[in-house]
């Protein structure tokens, strides 16, 4: 057991790509936690997808020694979709290192993460990173931090995580400024699980922070919310390799393996205590995040449905911020309606399901949660457009709104205002953080943000603007349900809820794409976009046609006409009994997110 007075628990928080993972690498090197021969970039990023994309998705923890102090370090994600990972990590800490890029200054997520740390009453150690870059302007950035966040410029450290310059001074500042954890080693055990992963050989591996008491290997433990009792088979710390220890005392961060096979028992926010001497009450857990974006996930091969269910269950233990429930589609069969925190989160979950569990999936177009007031004065919420009641039963539809913060160089104000207004956004405030940088706050419908708003924002500002958002209630809007009919039959997989002003453009775009994707039949196939009973766009897949006149050379025209009429009658009869088979490729291509 380590003396709590010599422990410091910190998280590294920053905007995306401001150097969190690189700083973690330097700290691992400087403290000798990783041998120089085994060192690699993004050492703590364990997922293959994190390495490919160069972003952190899962928060990772590691124990290092600096002088006589034990530092528990948690490297957190920077992207707004993974803010839930950050808030869970902060609950296991007493302090944070706030990194700001010296060349780019304060970004949207810098503000969000800083306010999150203040909400948790954590000590903030601010540091300017990338001072080795030619474009770095540490004096201006330090002044900006002092003005916006109120952290004195004299207390802000200057480092280069890439070269290691200033990192020893940062570790000294952490030891000096961040308070040591408190806790009674003799009190009943109370430890908070802040992350869990599923290992197919050992069951659930939980990351936990001991608040009170002592966790011992071999002891009987109780999971307070789940109400189950297990034996602590192994307790250990990450150095960064998993290393078993005999016990963990107050303030220590480590991992627990207790042979838990049911993935629902060891959720994040669960309190671990002793079975024979339990704590009086569970620790404050986490407020579970509400999904903002929904889509249907269906296996390409219907026989994989059970595999998809098991895979979602295991992945949800590792990422408790997405939800799923079974749903069926006439076109796609059995699948799940899944809820995510954002579009990147949705892409990552889908890609992890395909890579880690070997599944082949179709994802429907993303939608959001609508609140519908019926003519009977009752209110319902729907996450799937196909679940929308008939128009004659709907009194009004309210859509979820976002309050978005855009921080950008002031030269792009015009193009950003144009982008936000075309997406039905209304300006709340505009604030100059400095003569060169401005913060725009808009209220905008979530449905307008989920498709390609972030991509447009980046391309219109050459990558300089940053975005942060938070939910901001619901607002009644003129929304309609758009159905796609193929040969007069509605196809639920293509159904969407869109604003009336955008319905024609969206319907025209989709029917045009489907006309290219659906193979020709022996009869004409109409593809229509409809609002209620009104058709607003149509394309036709022309019929294949056999040349019945091939043997007719010369002769009376009535003979040719007779053959053509006979062919037409046959096609008409076939059309009455003919069903159109829509190939899987058409669904995959038409429902691609980047349309």
Q: Which residue positions form the known binding site for GTP?
A: 17-22, 129-132
Are the C-beta atoms of 308 and 336 separated by less than 8 Å?
A: yes
What CA–CA distances, in Å, run from 525 to 75, 539, 542? 55, 9, 7
Distance, CA of 479 to CA of 266 (rounded, Å): 41
Which of 385, 363, 386 has the alpha carbon at shortest distance from 591?
A: 363
| H and E: helices and strands count for the chain | 14, 31
Pair type for strands 123-129 and 95-101? parallel
Tokens found for residue 403 = 């309050």
Q: How far apart are CA 344 and CA 360, in angstroms?
A: 19
- In terms of Cα–Cα distance, which of 109, 111, 97 is closest to 148? 111
**Cα(36)–Cα(30) distance, integer angstroms:** 10
Q: How far is CA 327 from CA 7, 150, 297, 383, 388, in A?
A: 49, 50, 9, 11, 14
Cα–Cα dist 213/446, whole Å: 45
C-alpha closest to that of 305 among 331, 326, 329: 326
Helix (H, G, I), strand (E, B) or coil at 72: strand
Distance (Å, whole) CA 279 – CA 272: 9
C-alpha–C-alpha distance, residues 385 and 468, integer Å:
27
Torsion angle (degrees, nearest 10) of CA 153, 157, 160, 163: 150
CA distance 466 to 18: 12
Q: What residue numbers does the annotated binding site cover?
A: 17-22, 129-132
**Contact at 8 Å (CB) between 148 and 106?**
yes
Q: Hey, is 243 helix, strand or coil?
A: strand
3-class SS of residue 365: coil
Q: Which two tokens stand for residue 382?
A: 């729907």
Element (H, E) at 371: strand 370-374
CA atoms within 13 A on the CB side of 520: 6
């Amino acid at each position: 057991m380590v003396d709590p007075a010599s422990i410091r628990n910190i998280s590294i928080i920053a905007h995306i790509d401001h150097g969190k993972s690189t700083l973690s690498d330097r700290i691992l090197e400087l403290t000798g936690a990783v041998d120089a021969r085994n060192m690699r970039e993004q050492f703590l990023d364990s997922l293959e997808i994190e390495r490919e994309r160069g972003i952190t998705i899962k928060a990772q923890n590691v124990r290092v020694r600096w002088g006589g102090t034990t530092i528990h370090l948690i490297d957190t994600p920077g992207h707004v979709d993974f803010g839930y990972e950050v808030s869970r990590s902060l609950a296991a800490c007493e302090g944070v290192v706030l990194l700001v890029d010296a060349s780019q200054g304060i970004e949207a997520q810098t503000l969000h993460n800083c306010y999150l740390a203040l909400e948790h009453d954590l000590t903030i150690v601010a540091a300017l990173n990338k001072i080795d870059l030619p474009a770095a302007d540490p004096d201006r950035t330090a002044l900006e931090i002092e003005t916006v966040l109120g952290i004195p410029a004299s207390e802000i450290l200057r480092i280069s995580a890439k070269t290691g310059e200033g990192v020893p001074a940062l570790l000294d500042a952490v030891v000096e400024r961040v308070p040591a954890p408190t806790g009674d080693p003799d009190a009943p055990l109370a430890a908070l699980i802040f992350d869990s992963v599923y290992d197919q050989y050992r069951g659930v591996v939980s990351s936990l922070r001991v608040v009170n008491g002592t966790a011992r290997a071999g002891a009987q433990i109780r999971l307070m919310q789940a109400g189950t009792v297990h034996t602590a088979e192994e307790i250990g710390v990450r150095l960064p390799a998993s290393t078993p220890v005999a016990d963990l005392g107050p303030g220590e961060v480590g991992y627990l393996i207790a042979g838990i096979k049911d993935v629902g028992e060891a959720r994040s926010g669960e309190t671990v205590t002793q079975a024979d001497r339990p704590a009086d009450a569970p620790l404050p857990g986490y407020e579970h995040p509400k999904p903002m974006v929904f889509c249907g996930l269906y296996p390409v091969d219907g026989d994989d449905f059970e595999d998809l269910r098991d895979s979602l269950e295991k992945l949800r233990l590792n990422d408790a911020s997405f939800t799923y429930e079974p749903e069926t589609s006439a076109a796609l069969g059995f699948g799940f309606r899944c809820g995510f925190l954002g579009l990147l989160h949705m892409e990552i979950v889908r890609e992890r399901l395909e890579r880690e569990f070997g599944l082949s999936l179709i994802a429907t177009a993303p939608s959001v949660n609508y609140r519908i007031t019926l003519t009977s004065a009752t209110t319902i919420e729907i996450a799937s457009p196909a679940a929308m009641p008939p128009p004659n039963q709907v009194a009004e539809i309210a859509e979820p709104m976002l309050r978005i913060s855009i921080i950008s160089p002031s030269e792009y104000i015009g193009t950003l205002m144009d982008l936000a207004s075309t997406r039905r956004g209304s300006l709340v405030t505009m604030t100059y953080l400095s003569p060169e940088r401005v913060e725009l706050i808009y209220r905008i419908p979530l449905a307008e943000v989920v498709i390609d708003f972030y991509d447009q924002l980046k391309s219109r500002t050459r990558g300089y603007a940053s975005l942060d958002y938070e939910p901001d209630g619901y607002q009644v809007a003129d929304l309609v349900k758009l159905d796609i009919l193929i040969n007069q039959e509605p196809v639920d997989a293509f159904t969407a809820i869109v604003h009336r002003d955008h319905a024609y453009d969206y319907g025209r775009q989709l029917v045009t794409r489907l006309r290219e994707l659906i193979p020709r039949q022996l009869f004409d196939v109409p593809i229509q976009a409809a609002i209620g009973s009104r058709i607003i766009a149509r394309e036709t897949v022309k019929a294949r046609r056999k040349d019945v006149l091939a043997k007719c050379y010369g002769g009376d025209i009535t003979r040719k006409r007779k053959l053509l009429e006979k062919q037409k009658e046959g096609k008409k009869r076939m059309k009455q009994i003919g069903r159109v088979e829509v190939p899987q490729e058409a669904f995959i291509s038409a429902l691609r997110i980047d349309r």
